[in-house]
Structures are given as structure tokens and as C-alpha cells.
Chains A and B, each alone.
Chain A
Amino acid sequence: MKQSNYTVIQNGESCDVVDVPEVPFDAFREQLLQAVEDGAWIAALFAMPADRSTLRAFVILAHSHSGSLWLSSTILPDEFTALTPDCPQAHLFEREIAEQWGVKPLGHPWLKPLRYHHSYRKEKDCWDRKSSTAILPGVTDHFQVDGQEIHEVAVGPVHAGVIEPGHFRFQCHGEDVIHLEISLGYQHRGVERAMIGGPNNRTNHLVETVAGDTTIGHSLAYCQVIEALARTIIPARASALRAISLELERLANHVGDLGALAGDVGFLPTASFCGRLRGEFLNLTAMLCGNRFGHSMLCPGGVRFDADSDRVHNFLERFESAVSDVTDAINLLWKSPSVMDRFEDTGVVKIEDAIELGLVGLVARACGIEADIRSDFPTGIYRFTNISTATWHTGDVFSRAFVRWIEIERSTAFIRDLIKSLPQSEIRIALEPMEPNKIAVALVEGWRGAICHVAITDATSKFAHYKIVDPSFHNWFGLGMAMRDQQVSDFPLCNKSFSLSYCGHDL
């Protein structure tokens, strides 16, 4: 692989857009395939208008071993040879580019709309639809299995619980699922497009609401992008408070999910204990900033709320009592044969499939893949205080539950140590002006996995483009894999063990 076809940066850094090599499409495709074969993964792959008639595609390849990000680009023709047949992890990225810009990745095995909106270029549409025809979500040719005893089960978009909309099609033989196809897009509300021309008053709040349960994760990625563009280094205390907030978010969601998994197998003690305990961690976030989800906790330049020694004292008291209750509640799971029987060997994803599909985060770690942005691409306080990566190898519901539990233990220890020894400094500093014509990348290990934000500034230092990749975007296909050869009735359990975001995917 010729490195000259890439510009290499670190997580949370920026470089000049002109320095990102622009290689002919065939070479771009070739080198991307090679890099992925050599172990890199696609953190982002997106296109933006270079001028009125040309599209420029950018790729951010993440090399976990060296902790570096490799940037390259190409001018994208209206039709090009799809990457997906040779590189399944490009699957959704290519569908997204096709839908947004009306180009055609030829030979894409699954070329269907992703979020069901009109192309951003008026005269171009990947499926040759007119701009006057309404586009209805979920209306596409779904994969169908043929055969006398095959039947189809359709679920959603209106689900039974208090949950976001999505459409699921199961191809079944009796109770056995041969294939599950997932159609999303119902939550698409134009977040990325509204970022362009920013930052402005609303930008902070838009990133906080990319996925409500990942407010801290997404706002951290956003802040790091801005700070890279403004070449601003935030005070150490702010870094520590950010990391504490991020780990609290992980705790709240992991505890909530373990409770919900217990609920899905009818094990009510843990389900009801964890329902409350999740709230305790949200309340601890509110103790820091006033909002349970961490709205307005972070801002470019630092954090908005400090914790003095009294607050730390109260925090620790409530934290320890919650942690002790969580430990009891969750250990009940591993000791209950009826729970383990339902968790084990259900919804298995093999490690080789996980690698091919480019799964990230706890789902990947539960397949045995050692990958965690906090140790592979550390920024902020994670450069100095390491959280060791939690993995388990069985790839089933149990594994996804168990990895959550190990992560709960490690995040707990991390928060406990860090909050007792908060660095003495300011919590926020003024930003330098943002630089024009730059590209900045930030990766954050949100509780689901790798969050990637990429910003490109124009000549006036405003966003010419902004790309957000929620970990769910990488992982939804993994849920489809996990459901193969399972019973339809195992869907809620498998689904919860992935616990993916609809709004984070739909943007």
C-alpha cells in the first residue's frame, strides 16, 4: 500500500483539505480494499459536492494498531464499481451516497434507499424517481425467500412498546428465521444538512440530539472536531469531567439494557432493580449538569459545569450506593440457570462475520474483537488513564450482556479514581478562531461503540460539510446476521442485546 495516496492524522486532529490526496476512482477503490484487507476499518465514507457538477468522495480509514487515521479522496463518477461486493463494510455507506447524491454504485448487491428522502441533487436520482413523486418510507423491494412453506412476518414501524419506529421483515420457515431485513429512515430529520453553514446557535443542540441516549458521546465528538479546527487544547479538568460524563452515560445505558434483557427473558428481579438503577446514573449526570442526559454539559472549549469538593463528596456517596445495588442485581443473572439458558447460544455472530461487516463497539467486542477507541485512538484524559478493553468470545446474547457487565465494572473504577483526583484547572477556555479549508476528524467510544464526526470548513471557516456516523450505522446489519436460524420469538432478546439507535442511524 502506497502511503503517498493518503494523508495520515491522529484522532482529534485536522489537516488542510488540499492535502488530502485526490486519486482516480479505480486506484481509490483498489487501495481502500487493500487497506481493509490489511486490517483497517472504514470510520467514514461520504461524498460532497466539489463544485456544481462534480462529487468528491472522502474516506477515513482507521488503523487501530497504529492509532492513526488515513484520509484519501476521489472524484466520484455518476456510475462506479461498487465496493460492497468486495468489502461488505462499505454496504450502508454506499447506499447512503447513492441516495444522497443520485450516483449508482454498480453491482451493489442491496442497492435500496436508506432513509427514504429525495436526492440532494435535483436532476439526479439513483432509482430514477421524479422529484415530484412522494417517497414513502419502507416502500422498496424487500428480499424474499421462495418456497411452499415460507412465510413472511412484518413488524413496525408502529411497535408495541414505547420505542422508536423501524420496519422489520422476517423470512421464516415455521418458527425459524431464514433472513431478516431491516428498513429504517422513519426518524430522519435532516441533522447533517442542518449542520452545513454552522456552527451557529443551534449546532451544539443538534449534535446533542443526534441520539438522545448518546448526548455526551456525540457532543464530545463534536467538541473535539471544533477544537481541532480551532487548534485549542482544553484544560485538564474539563477533559476529566468529560470522561466522567461519558462513562456515566455508558453505565446508565448498560445497566438499563441488562435490565431490559432480564425483562425479555421474564427474569423480573433484575429487570425491575435495573429499571430504577439506570435512573440513578442519569440522576448523577443531572447532579453534574442539571439534565439527566447531559444536555449542555459539554461545550467547545471545555465543560459548562464544575464539581467542587462538596459535590464530589455527594456524588461519590450516591454513586457507591448505586454501584453496590447494581452489582447485586446483575450478578443474579449469571447465577440463574433459566436466564443463562436463554442467553447462551442465542443470536450468535461469528467473529469472521463481525470483521467482514465492520461491526464496532461492544457488539464487536462480544465477538472477540479487541477494538475500543478509548485505547486504540485515545484522546483527552484517556491518553493518560487507560481503561482496558473488555472482550468475550462467544458472540451470543450472553456475550453481549457479559461484556456490558465487565465494562460497567471498569467504568465504575475509572469514574471512582478520576473524580477523586480531578486536576486543578479552569473548566473552560475561549476558543481560537476556526481555521478555513480544513478537514477534522474525531472518534469517540460511545457506549454503543465508535462515533465518528468529520467536519470540512470552507474559505470562511464555516462547515462546508459535516458527517456523523453513529455506531448503529455499522451495527444494524449485524442484528440481521444474529437472527439467522433463530426463532422469531428470540427477536426481542437479540434486538435488545444490540440495543441500536434508530435516530442515530436516521439522522
Chain B
Amino acid sequence: MIDILRARLKQGHRTISFPNQPPTLPDRFRGCPVIDEAKCVSDCQRCAEVCPTGSIIQVHSTKPQVDLGRCLFCTDCAEACPNDAIRYHSDYSMSSNQRIDLVVNANTEAGPLVSALKKESLRLFGHSLKLRQVSAGGCNGCESDTNVLSTITFDLGRFGVQFVASPRHADGLLITGPVKENKRVALLKTWETVPAPKIVIAVGACAISGGPFQNHPEVHNGVSDILPVDLYIPGCPPHPITILDGILRLLSRI
């Protein structure tokens, strides 16, 4: 017993003070990309050529735009760019309510595009949100970094957010993985079991677009075509802080 108490004293208080204070992230952290159009030579396309998931798109201009929903944050594009026009930097906050808002270009202002839930939902969930996690065919990286939110480091419970075992006790689903056909039925059944009003949070490149498994015949490319999504959290996997930040913004706690 005395050893337990001694260890407890030594380990001390370990819960981070985010969101009251900014998080400490490693200096090599690869967060939201910043694109410097001035440095980009038109018709170069090197970044788009190397990208593993087709995340670099040139819709209305020849200049690169990065679709965070597909991006693996691997920085292959930044490495291929001869002019240093793309950089992945420390901005961890990149969630959004709309799929389209995940596309960033040189003019995108830093920061997330999350509006909080509508008034009635916010009244219901703002101080107590129970989520059922559904794992639908990824690599388990997203599950791991979702799971750590319940450790003492992040202590998700202090915000009234909790993962529950039964969908019947849940206010929404947090989905990871590209959704393989074999899991679609289970996902839909779980969704139907959650009492309304309910929300869906898609975590990770897989759940948003299929991630590294995009267009494999075995998978759907994420949840968007299957369920209405309220919050997209990009990353492969997203850093726990990115996930926490997204959820707190949805609940108007940041």
C-alpha cells in the first residue's frame, strides 16, 4: 500500500490544461499545411504526382490546394516540391462541419471551420455527450488515439464527454475506418439504435475519404455517403489534441 501511495505522489497530477493553455506539440508535428502561392511555379505538379491519395487538387487554379479529408500528412508533397511552397506546420486545429471546408488553399485562414451544434442539440449535449465508437476497417491508429482521450492525460470526462458501450445509451457515433462493405450493415444498425437527436463524428482520413485504402474494391470511401456527418476530424491518425479540439468546438467549449 505504501508503495502505491509513494508512486501516486511521484506521478503527480498529469492532466494537461488544454484548452485553457495551448498544447505542447513536438517541433516536427505535421499539422495543417500552409501553401505559399508565390513560391509555386505553375505547371509544376510535382506535389500532385507524388501524393498517395490524390489530396492535391487543382480545381479553379493551377496552384495546389490540399484536401485535408484525404491527406495522410505524410509530407511527401512537401518533400517533392522544389520550391518549398507547401509546409506542414504546427496548427493542430483543423476540423470542420462541412466536407468542402477541408480543402485548404493559399488563402485559407489558419484555424478550424467548426460551428457549434444547433441550439437545441447544444442544450442537450453541451455538458454531457455520450459517444459510441464504431471501428469500421482502418488500421486501428485512429481508435488508439481516440482511446487515449480517456486517459488521465486528456481526461475527456472533465468535459462531460464519455464513450459508452451501448448505442442505446449514446448521443452519437464516433466513426473510424473507411467502412468496408461487411461493416456497413453493422454500422447502420448501430446508427438506428442511437436515439434521436444524434450526431456523427468522422475521425481520420479513412472515415472521411477511405484514407490509404481509398478506392479499394473492399471498402466504401468513408462514411459521408452512408450517414450524415456533423464533424470531420482529419489526420492519419489525427493527434489526440486535434480530436479533442474538434469535439470541444462542436460543443462550443472552445
Verify if B249 is at the interface (C-beta below 8 Å from A): no
Distance in angstroms from A381 CB to nearest chain B CB is 22
Interface residues of A in 103-124 (CB under 8 A from B): 116-117
Interface magnitude class on chain A? 35 or more
A296 x B75 contact (CB < 8 A): yes
Assembled-state Cα–Cα distance A502/B118 (Å): 38
Assembled-state Cα–Cα distance A165/B187 (Å): 11
Assembled-state Cα–Cα distance A189/B139 (Å): 10
Instruction: List residues of chain B with CB within 8 A of the CB of A272.
Output: 151-152
Interface residues of B in 69-87 (CB under 8 A from A): 72-76, 79
Question: With A162-B147, A213-B141 as given contacts, are A335 and B182 in contact (CB-CB < 8 Å)?
Answer: no
Interface residues of A in 198-224 (CB under 8 A from B): 201-202, 204-206, 208-213, 215
A-B contact pairs, 13 of them (CB 8 A): A117-B218, A136-B182, A160-B165, A186-B186, A201-B50, A204-B52, A212-B140, A272-B151, A275-B153, A293-B237, A328-B6, A332-B4, A503-B138
Verify if A171 is at the interface (C-beta below 8 Å from B): no
Select one of B10, B141, B147, B217 contacting A209, CB under 8 A.
B141
Q: A189-B138, A202-B52, A209-B213 are in contact. List 10 more A-B contacts (CB 8 A).
A: A157-B186, A158-B186, A160-B166, A161-B133, A189-B137, A212-B141, A213-B140, A273-B7, A290-B29, A290-B30
A269 x B4 contact (CB < 8 A): yes
Distance in angstroms from A468 CB to nearest chain B CB is 13
Q: Which residue of B lies closest to A269 (CB)?
A: B4
Question: With A160-B165, A205-B74 as given contacts, are A276 and B141 in contact (CB-CB < 8 Å)?
Answer: no
Assembled-state Cα–Cα distance A117/B79 (Å): 38
A185 x B139 contact (CB < 8 A): no
Q: Which residue of B lies closest to A164 (CB)?
A: B135
Q: Which residue of A lies closest to B236 (CB)?
A: A295
Verify if A390 is at the interface (C-beta below 8 Å from B): no
Verify if B168 is at the interface (C-beta below 8 Å from A): no
Instruction: List residues of chain A with CB within 8 A of the CB of B216.
Output: 189-190, 193-194
Assembled-state Cα–Cα distance A206/B76 (Å): 14
Interface residues of B in 109-154 (CB under 8 A from A): 133-135, 137-148, 150-153
Instruction: List residues of chain B with CB within 8 A of the CB of A292.
Output: 145, 237, 239
Distance in angstroms from B112 CB to nearest chain A CB is 20
Interface residues of B in 188-230 (CB under 8 A from A): 190, 211-213, 216-219
Assembled-state Cα–Cα distance A272/B151 (Å): 7
Interface residues of B in 148-179 (CB under 8 A from A): 148, 150-153, 163, 165-166, 177-178
A165 x B135 contact (CB < 8 A): yes
B28 x A287 contact (CB < 8 A): yes
Verify if B248 is at the interface (C-beta below 8 Å from A): no
Verify if A196 is at the interface (C-beta below 8 Å from B): no
Interface residues as binary, B36-52 with A (CB distance below 8 Å gives 1, 0 otherwise): 00000000000001111
Question: Which B residues form the contact surface with A (CB < 8 A)?
Answer: 3-4, 6-8, 10-11, 14, 26, 28-30, 49-53, 72-76, 79, 133-135, 137-148, 150-153, 163, 165-166, 177-178, 180, 182-183, 186, 190, 211-213, 216-219, 236-237, 239
Instruction: List residues of chain A with CB within 8 A of the CB of B146.
Output: 162
Verify if A329 is at the interface (C-beta below 8 Å from B): yes
Distance in angstroms from B181 CB to nearest chain A CB is 8
Verify if A173 is at the interface (C-beta below 8 Å from B): no
B139 x A211 contact (CB < 8 A): yes
Assembled-state Cα–Cα distance A215/B141 (Å): 9
Select one of A162, A193, A194 contacting B135, CB under 8 A.
A162
Instruction: List residues of chain B with CB within 8 A of the CB of A235.
Output: none
B182 x A293 contact (CB < 8 A): no
Instruction: List residues of chain A with CB within 8 A of the CB of B144.
Output: 212-213, 293
Instruction: List residues of chain A with CB within 8 A of the CB of B142.
Output: 212
Distance in angstroms from B77 CB to nearest chain A CB is 10
B29 x A190 contact (CB < 8 A): no
A161 x B7 contact (CB < 8 A): no
A329 x B133 contact (CB < 8 A): no
Assembled-state Cα–Cα distance A503/B29 (Å): 26
Select one of A186, A187, A273 contacting B11, CB under 8 A.
A273
Question: With A269-B4, A296-B74, A329-B11 as given contacts, are A164 and B212 in contact (CB-CB < 8 Å)?
Answer: no
Instruction: List residues of chain A with CB within 8 A of the CB of B138.
Output: 187, 189, 209, 212, 503
Distance in angstroms from A330 CB to nearest chain B CB is 10
Q: Which residue of B lies closest to A185 (CB)?
A: B182
B141 x A188 contact (CB < 8 A): no
Select one of A164, A204, A279 contacting B143, CB under 8 A.
A164
Verify if A283 is at the interface (C-beta below 8 Å from B): yes
Verify if A436 is at the interface (C-beta below 8 Å from B): no
B212 x A209 contact (CB < 8 A): yes
Q: Which residue of A lies closest to B148 (CB)?
A: A279
Instruction: List residues of chain B with CB within 8 A of the CB of A185.
Output: 182
Q: Which residue of B lies closest to A193 (CB)?
A: B216
Select one of A158, A189, A211 contacting B218, CB under 8 A.
A189
B180 x A186 contact (CB < 8 A): yes
B29 x A286 contact (CB < 8 A): yes
Verify if A18 is at the interface (C-beta below 8 Å from B): no
Verify if A77 is at the interface (C-beta below 8 Å from B): no
Instruction: List residues of chain B with CB within 8 A of the CB of A186.
Output: 137, 180, 182-183, 186
Select one of A190, A191, A212 contacting B217, CB under 8 A.
A190
B74 x A295 contact (CB < 8 A): yes
Instruction: List residues of chain A with CB within 8 A of the CB of B147.
Output: 162
Assembled-state Cα–Cα distance A47/B142 (Å): 32
B139 x A291 contact (CB < 8 A): no
